Amino acid sequence: MPIIRVALDVPVNTLFDYLAQDVTAQDIGVRVCVPFGKKQVIGVIMEVTTHSLISPSRLRQATHVFQDIPPLPASLLDLFRFCSTYYHHPLGEVVMNGLPGRLRRTKPVAVASVAASRYCLTPAGHAINLSAISARSIIKRRLLAGLQESGGMNIEEVKRLSRRAPAALQEFITLRWVEETLIAPPLTADSLIEITSPGPVLTADQESAVNDVAAKINDFNTWLLHGITGSGKTEVYLRLISLLLRQGRQTLVLVPEINLTPQLEAIFRTRFPAIQLVSLHSGLTPGERVNAWLQAQRGEARIILGTRLAVFTPLPKLGLVIVDEEQDTSFKQQEGLRYSARDVAIFRAKHANAPVILGSATPSLESYYNAINGRYLRLRLQSRAVKNAALPVVRCLDTRSARTKEGFSVPLIAALEKCLALHQQSLVFINRRGYAPVLLCKSCAWTATCHRCASRLVVHLREKQLRCHHCGHQERFPSACPKCGDQDIAPFGHGTQRVEAALAERFPKARIVRIDRDSMRRKNAWQKILKDIQERRVDILVGTQILAKGHDFPNLSLVSILNSDASLFSTDFRAPERLFAQLMQVAGRAGRATISGEVLIQTEFPDHPLYQALRRHDYDALAQTLLAERKTAGFPPYVYQALLRAEALQIAAALAFLARAAAIAKAPEQVEIFDPVPAQMSRLKGMERAHLLIQSGSRKQLQEFLSGWRSKLDALSTHKVRWTLDVDPLEF
Ligand code: ADP
Ligand code: ZN
Ligand code: ZN
């Protein structure tokens, strides 16, 4: 009997062997139900073989081989293998976590939920004689006859036979009399791609970017589309997607933020009305997600738009990958398999021999470095696409000399006032939600902290609550200082709620809207607000970085930035890069249409190189400065890093584990291992955290070292310590 090697969702880096009747190499990529200990669990067949290291008498039998959907394609299994190897994460976990929830259950996906597939008889099904089916099974007979006559049916046709026909169909599938066809309806006719609006005349920059990629449209290359805000990167994507559609191929488009999908989706749908597009993100119901996923797998969905998890969608006809806002850190998953969707997307494109486009106004230093090195090909869009839409004027308001009231300096208030008078919109950016970041006792300097995390509790005045933004813990507002009993405790510093309140008091007639994670909680809240902004029912927007990302606000003329100085002096070496990207993005919201824009930054450090670069819209200058600093300090992109992260109830246990791990590491000279240290966020959700940094000038050396070392770490584990490896970490 054949032996199948199965990927299971267990934290051990091995496949599990089972016996399975009638299984052939065709079944690689099929889901199976197998006994595991006392439980039945689901897994995926990764290999089919005839021998096993486990003695035949101890091999158990697979319980069920699913035939509800076609096998996962080999390219997707390769992608999982790559992630397992590169991130040193157990293959079974990688595979199972990459699948939609509905495919991780130990029951088949309901056929009825899978619209638009065709069901055809297999050779075995054709060989069945009608008389072999009991005369009492009328529905089965009818279904078999129907399939024989029609040569294939879709689920609607099956349902028309009888309400119970789908169940019979499911049975036929299990018996392997019927299979679902993978072949999507042919998409060759240009009429299908029919472009109702052909799009604007390209700017010279756009045109040369499109032409450059088009000339190599069927080759793998990583293109860095470096275009200032408002330069029309989306239009470049659209033109290239249209090329691919004409070839009958699929495009994967990754965006950092779920809120960005509806807007982009609408743009794509308007341009390509006849094309099947699916969007994949965490906001979908499990049924919607599996359906979208299956449409992609069948090759029917031509455009797959999604957040990072969409990078694991099966795409049999992948022809182009786009990663928009490639520098965004939300492409990196921060738990479980700590993958970077951007980097995985590049691997995918390479494997599919397709181009990948990384789009950004402020590329990550890694990508920028690769572009100036020639490893990536750089495309530049240097001017704004809309005629007469100049880049906004950026000015610093020195808050050392100018007094501020409730966070606002006099010139800033005046600028807001002027905007209101002109009926133009303005935006106040402050990257802190809540009312104030700190609750402080004025007599003894006590501050409210989270008992589970090494963080301060944020004051949410409206809800009369203190909240931890790291673990979600909430508590009532104390009436007096718990330490000294003084009642003079007060919020300190500013968050979005406080800024909103201050503005409401100063400009009672203005229509003010706050946009942060708290106000966006309700479903469709964002859609509604966007509409209000577009239709000019809003005068002042107050918000966090959610506002900054990619949105087009044509009536916005003033952007003001409060409290960004803290990030200038962070211990995180990536903080300046992030701050700059964030500020460029927010600044880029201003003056996108024909009204000119202005950006005002309140700062105590107006001469800081970061603000200077921002004033000149000079990404390159800052990138060069930061790269020089990174080179001197020996930071990425000049070195490659991995972190061994450990957490335990007591920091000592975590540190001890890391010390043992360091002791058994036989690192070659080119690989450097640092001392174990507590993490920057040294306590989170009640667990104390520490890490060990490993770095090397050679990615290959680092990877080789990690492979050998990883396999020895399991033996060091104790139940007290949880650990993970984080390759190319972004957080420390
Ligand atoms: P980016 O993503 O680069 O910041 P967008 O793609 O959002 O910029 O484009 C900014 C604006 O310019 C959009 O309103 C878009 O419709 C418009 N636009 C893009 N290309 C052109 C063009 N060639 N001519 C006129 N308007 C354009
Ligand atoms: Zn006190
Ligand atoms: Zn907390």
Number of neighbouring beta carbons within 10 Å of residue 462: 12
pLDDT at 717: 81
Q: Is residue 11 part of a domain?
A: yes
Identify whether residues 121 and 238 lie together within a single domain: no
The verdict on 331 and 206 lying in the same domain is yes
Ligand 1, CB within 6 Å, residue ranges = 200-203, 206, 227, 229-235, 385-386, 552
Q: Note the pLDDT of residue 550.
A: 65
Give yes or no for residue 192 having a pLDDT over 70: no
**How many CB atoms lie under 10 A from the CB of residue 581?**
24
**188 C-alpha to center of ligand 1: Å?**
29
Q: pLDDT tens, 398-407?
A: 999 878 888 8
Inside any domain, residue 451: no
The number of the ligand 1 atom at minimal distance from the alpha carbon of 234 is 6
pLDDT higher than threshold 70 for residue 722:
yes
Which position has the higher pLDDT, 183 or 308? 308
CA of 498 to the centre of ligand 3 (A): 22
Q: How far is the CA of 454 from the centre of ligand 3 (A)?
A: 7
Same domain, 142 and 226: no
Average pLDDT estimate for 247-269: 89
Residues 171 and 57 in one domain: no
pLDDT at 196: 53
Ligand 1 atom at shortest distance from the alpha carbon of 229: 4
Q: What is the arithmetic mean of pLDDT over 137-154? A: 85
Which residue positions form the known binding site for Zn(2+)? 441, 444, 450, 453, 468, 471, 481, 484
Q: Which atom of ligand 1 is nearest to the CA of 233?
A: 3
Residue after which a domain boundary falls, among 381, 402, 419? 381
- Show which of 138, 156, 182 is a domain's final residue: 182
Question: Which residue puts its alpha carbon closest to atom 21 of ligand 1?
Answer: 385
Examine residue 463 and state whether it is found in any structural domain, yes or no: no
Whether 441 is in a domain gets the answer no
> What average pLDDT does the segment 193-218 reach?
87
Residue among 509, 561, 557, 551 nearest 530 (CA): 551
- What's the total number of domains in the chain? 5
Is 310 a residue whose pLDDT tops 60? yes
Note whether residue 457 is domain-resident: no
Q: Please state, rounded to an integer, the average pLDDT across all residues of the chain.
A: 91
Q: pLDDT at residue 114 above 50?
A: no
Shared domain for 550 and 697, answered yes or no, is no
pLDDT band at 67 (very low <50, low <70, confident <90, very high): confident
- Residue 183 above 50 pLDDT? no
The ligand with the least distance to the CA atom of 480 is 2
Q: Is residue 188 very low, low, confident or very high in pLDDT (cuts 50, 70, 90)?
A: very low
Maximum average pLDDT range among 43-47, 120-124, 521-525: 43-47
Categorize the per-residue pLDDT at 197 as very low, low, confident or very high, splitting at 50, 70 and 90.
low
Domain of 10, CATH number, reads 3.40.1440.60
Pocket residue to mutate for ligand 1, from 208, 229, 235, most atoms within 8 A of Cβ: 235
> Rounded to the nearest whole angstrom, what is the distance from the C-alpha of residue 449 to the centroid of ligand 3?
8
Tell whether the model's pLDDT for residue 111 goes beyond 60. no
Q: Does a structural domain hold residue 387? A: no
Closest CA to 415 of 429, 400, 426: 426
pLDDT for position 113:
45
> 3-state DSSP call for residue 376?
coil
Share of the chain above pLDDT 90, in %: 68
Residue 243 pLDDT > 80? yes
Quick check: 117 pLDDT over 80? no
**Are both 623 and 647 inside the same structural domain?**
no
234 Cα–ligand 2 center, Å? 54
Q: Looking at the chain, how many residues does it have?
A: 732
Judge if 160 and 273 occupy the same domain: no
Q: Quick one: 174 and 227 in the same domain?
A: no
What pLDDT is recorded for position 157?
A: 79
> What's the mean pLDDT in 35-45?
96
Task: Say what the alpha-carbon torsion angle 140, 145, 148, 149 is, to the nearest 10 degrees.
Answer: -140
Q: What digits encode the pLDDT tens for the residues 454-469?
A: 999 999 988 889 999 9
Distance CA 383, CA 566 (A): 31
Between 387 and 668, name the one with better pLDDT: 668
Are residues 407 and 362 located together in one domain of the fold?
Answer: no
Report the pLDDT averaged over residues 207-222: 97
pLDDT at position 448 is 95
Q: How confident is the model at residue 547 (pLDDT cuts 50, 70, 90)?
A: confident
Q: Which structural domain range is residue 303 located in? A: 192-381
Ligand in closest contact with the CA of 236: 1
DSSP 102-159: GGGSSSPPPGGGSTT-EEEE-HHHHT--GGGS-TT-HHHHHHHHHHHHHS-EEHHHHH
Q: Is position 722 within any domain?
A: yes
Q: Which residues are annotated as a binding site?
A: 441, 444, 450, 453, 468, 471, 481, 484
Q: Which domain CATH number covers 670? A: 3.30.70.600
**Shared-domain flag, residues 43 and 8:** yes
| Of the candidates 344, 307, 301, 293, the residue with the CA atom closest to the CA atom of residue 100 | 293
Do 497 and 430 lie in a common domain? Answer: yes
Kindly state the average pLDDT of the residues 542-550.
82
Residue 534 covered by a domain: yes
The CATH number for 368's domain is 3.40.50.300
pLDDT tens figures, 339-358: 999 999 999 999 999 999 99
Other C-beta atoms closer than 10 Å to the C-beta of 528 total 10
Average pLDDT rounded to a whole number, residues 471-491: 93
What's the gap between Cα 475 and its chain centre? Answer: 31
Question: Which of 574, 603, 628 delimits the end of a domain?
Answer: 628
Residue 686 Cα to ligand 3 midpoint, Å, equals: 8
Q: Are residues 648 and 549 in the same domain?
A: no
More confident call, 524 vs 102: 102
The pLDDT value recorded for residue 191 is 46
What is the mean predicted confidence (pLDDT) over 226-254?
94
End-to-end CA distance of the chain: 50
